[in-house]
Amino acid sequence: MIIELDMQSDIPIYTQLTNQIIEGIASGSLKPGEALPSVRSLASDIGINLHTVNKAYQLLKQEDYIHIHRQKGVVVNPNGMPEVNQEFSDKQNAQIRPLIAEAILRGVSLTEMKEMLERIYREIEPPTNKADHKKE
């Protein structure tokens, strides 16, 4: 998986890194149990501070996307991803709501918003899921 960070973005680097790792897991680019680079290695490879990588890894660990072991290092959660729960739903609501409000203010229709969400979803979802959707 290739990590691409925008150093000029208003989005913090640790957030960009966290989002890209989550997207890598969602797309199947990163598999359950797959090792991720150490904090030092990843920081060196992409040219950022190791504390930034550590913060991203800690957030991913809190959300149960990765496990951090003393011997094994950092690995994608080998037991699969956490289930949807109320906390996750509330978090998603809080993140999506302002985006929808801004879209409404800018004249984006519900249909356009649905099409955009569907396009992005299809871009990210793993190939196995794409085959399932073609059957629908």
Give the DSSP letter string of 48-112: --HHHHHHHHHHHHHTTSEEEETTTEEEE-TT-PPPP-HHHHHHHHHHHHHHHHHHHHTT--HHH
pLDDT, residue 25, reads 95
pLDDT, residue 28, reads 93
CATH 1.10.10.10 fits 13-76, yes or no: yes
pLDDT at 135 over 60: no
pLDDT, residue 127, reads 80
Across the range 100-124, mean pLDDT stands at 96
Kindly indicate the confidence band of residue 132, based on its pLDDT and cuts at 50, 70 and 90.
Answer: low
Q: Where are the domains of the chain?
A: 13-76, 86-135
Instruction: Tell me if 46 sits within 8 A of 36, measured CB to CB.
Output: no
How large is the C-alpha radius of gyration of the chain? 17
Cα gap 48→62, rounded to integer Å: 22
CA distances from 104 to 59, 62, 96, 97, 118 (A): 31, 33, 12, 11, 18
Q: What is the DSSP secondary structure assignment for residue 32, as one 8-state letter?
A: T
Across the range 70-98, mean pLDDT stands at 90
pLDDT at 124 over 70: yes
pTM: 0.84
What angle separates helix 13-27 from helix 50-62, to the nearest 10 degrees? 50
pLDDT, residue 71, reads 83
